[in-house]
């Protein structure tokens, strides 16, 4: 483990594995199932369910293999830096995914809606007013209210910021070999993530039932739900990953110099955190 990168002449290449093939079957079921499901056709949800189960099985099997290899000491400096680069580029791809939706938000706010309010379109949409949240337009069939930034969203901001602190406390515990600080910090982070998700669900319930805000509520509703929704899915994924890491930390899988999995999840969590701050600023506040 102490070997520097220069000394290592071997690189771990895993044995043939069935998991990629299983994962391909899973994604085929999910893709075909989703295509049927969004059209309300019968085999859709069944296929989706089957695909999801296979995918979950695949993830357990695959990550199980990786964890066993890690514990067996197959990974050294080179493998470790591969994992780090890999995780970094994965997060970059996620950033670009969110960039597409933020781009859509900026475009509708700065270009599409103001343009529709121009004189050019007065004949087409005489009652249209270019306001944000957008409340007029022939596609917006029922009135709704926008989400207030300083209620639950503010609480959620504080929760996620706190969780960023607790995960860092866990990291310090790990680096200094304090097991209880590590596990305690992780448990707190998982709890905060779960509370965030719970509050997010409450917020959606409130939005749907009290504010009448839906996906179909025009430019505001669609960007609100898709941005916060995809972010919520990432929080869910991050929370699950944190939970796995918590269990592994409790079992003593990590040491002060050997904990890539912990750091990867921590990076992911900070990424989710930063996306939320942007969301809070651009979706809720502005």
Partner 1 sequence: MAMTDVQQAPAHHHKPSGWSRWLMATNHKDIGSLYLWFSFIMFLSGGVMALCIRAELFRPGLQFFAPELFNQFTTLHGLVMVFGAIMPAFTGLANWMLPLMIGAPDMAFARMNNWSFWLLPPAAALLMLSFLVPGGAAAAGWTLYAPLSTQMGIGMDMTIFAIHIMGVSSVMGSINIIVTILNLRAPGMDLMKMPMFAWASLITAFLIIAVMPVLAGVVTMVLTDRHFGTHFFNAAGGGDPILYQHIFWFFGHPEVYIMALPAFGIISQVIPTFSRKPLFGYTSMVYATSSIGVLSFIVWAHHMFVTGLPATVQLFFMYATMLIAVPTGVKVFNWIATMWEGAMTFETPMLFAIGFILLFTIGGLSGVTLSVAALDIQLHGTYYVVAHFHYVLVAGALFSLFSAMYYWFPKMTGRMYNERLGKFHFWWSMVWFNVTFFPMHFLGLAGMPRRIPDYALQFTEFNSIASVGAFCFGLGQLIFLYNILTSLKNGKPAPALPWEGADTLEWKIPTPAPYHSFVEAPQVEADHNGSIVSMHGDKHH
Pattern of binders to partner 1 over 16-35, x per CB under 8 A?
xxxxxx-xxx-xx-xxx-xx
CB 190 within 8 A of CB 239: yes
Q: Site for partner 1 (CB under 8 A): which residue of 2, 123, 127, 209?
A: 2
**147 interacts with partner 1 by CB under 8 A:** no
Pattern of binders to partner 1 over 67-106, x per CB under 8 A?
------xx-x-x--xx--xx--xx-xxx-xx-xxx-xx--
Output Rg (C-alpha) for the chain, integer angstroms. Answer: 23
What does the buried/exposed string (b/e) look like for 191-213 if buried means 16 or more CB atoms within 10 Å of the residue's CB?
ebbbbbbeebeebbeebeeebeb
The residue among 7 and 148 lying less far from partner 1, judged by its C-beta, is 7
Q: Site for partner 1 (CB under 8 A): which residue of 46, 165, 201, 216?
A: 216
Contacts (CB under 8 A) with partner 1, residues 243-272: none
Task: Find where tokens 């992911």 sit.
Answer: 268
Among 106, 93, 112, 153, smallest CA distance to 285 is for 153
Contacts (CB under 8 A) with partner 1, residues 179-208: none
How far is residue 273's CA from residue 163's CA, in Å, rounded to a whole number? 9
Query: What's the closest the beta carbon of residue 282 comes to partner 1, in angstroms?
Result: 16
Q: Site for partner 1 (CB under 8 A): which residue of 50, 208, 226, 236?
A: 226
Largest CA distance in the chain: 74
**140 interacts with partner 1 by CB under 8 A:** yes
Q: Site for partner 1 (CB under 8 A): which residue of 59, 112, 197, 243?
A: 112
Query: What's the closest the beta carbon of residue 46 comes to partner 1, in angstroms?
Result: 16
The residue among 41 and 179 lying less far from partner 1, judged by its C-beta, is 41
Contacts (CB under 8 A) with partner 1, residues 34-73: 34-36, 38-39, 41, 62, 65, 73
- List alpha helices for the chain, DSSP H: 19-38, 43-71, 77-107, 113-116, 152-175, 179-209, 218-250, 260-279
Query: What's the closest the beta carbon of residue 42 comes to partner 1, in angstroms?
Result: 13
Query: What's the closest the beta carbon of residue 59 comes to partner 1, in angstroms?
Result: 12
Q: Site for partner 1 (CB under 8 A): which residue of 222, 243, 244, 274?
A: 222
CB 36 within 8 A of CB 47: yes
Q: Site for partner 1 (CB under 8 A): which residue of 46, 64, 110, 138?
A: 138
Q: Site for partner 1 (CB under 8 A): which residue of 54, 113, 188, 207?
A: 113
The residue among 2 and 119 lying less far from partner 1, judged by its C-beta, is 2
- Quote the crossing angle between the two packed helices 218-250 and 77-107, to the nearest 10°: 160
Cα–Cα distances (Å) from 35 to 40, 124, 223, 275, in that order, read: 9, 35, 23, 29
The answer to whether the peptide bond before residue 261 is cis (omega within 30 degrees of 0) is no
Determine the straight-line distance between the first and last CA of the chain, rounded to whole angstroms: 49
Query: What's the closest the beta carbon of residue 205 comes to partner 1, in angstroms?
Result: 18
* Beta-bridge partners for 255: 258
Query: What's the closest the beta carbon of residue 188 comes to partner 1, in angstroms?
Result: 31
């Amino acid at each position: 483990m102490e070997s520097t990168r220069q000394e290592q002449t071997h690189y771990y290449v895993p044995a043939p594995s069935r998991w990629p093939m299983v994962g391909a079957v899973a994604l085929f079921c999910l893709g075909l199932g989703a295509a049927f499901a969004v059209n309300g056709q019968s085999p859709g949800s069944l296929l989706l369910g089957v695909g999801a189960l296979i995918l979950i099985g695949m993830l357990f099997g695959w990550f199980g293999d990786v964890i066993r290899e890690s514990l067996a000491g197959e990974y050294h400096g080179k493998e470790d830096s591969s994992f780090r680069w890999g995780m970094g580029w994965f997060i970059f791809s996620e950033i670009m995914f969110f960039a597409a939706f933020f781009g859509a938000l900026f475009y509708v706010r700065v270009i599409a809606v103001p343009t529709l309010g121009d004189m050019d379109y007065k004949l087409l949409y005489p009652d249209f007013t270019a306001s944000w949240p957008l409340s007029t337009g022939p596609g917006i069939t029922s009135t709704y209210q926008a989400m207030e930034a300083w209620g639950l969203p503010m609480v959620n901001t504080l929760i996620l910021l706190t969780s960023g602190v607790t995960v860092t406390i866990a990291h310090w515990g790990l680096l200094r070999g304090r097991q209880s600080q590590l596990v305690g910090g992780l448990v707190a982070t998982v709890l905060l993530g779960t509370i965030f998700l719970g509050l997010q669900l409450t917020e959606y319930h409130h939005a749907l039932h009290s504010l009448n805000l839906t996906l179909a509520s025009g430019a505001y509703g669609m960007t609100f739900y898709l941005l916060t929704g995809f972010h919520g899915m990432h929080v869910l994924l991050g929370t699950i990953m944190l939970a796995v890491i918590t269990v592994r930390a409790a079992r003593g899988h990590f040491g002060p110099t050997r904990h890539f999995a912990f750091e990867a999840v921590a990076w992911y969590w900070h990424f989710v955190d930063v996306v939320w701050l942007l969301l809070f600023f651009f979706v809720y506040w502005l």
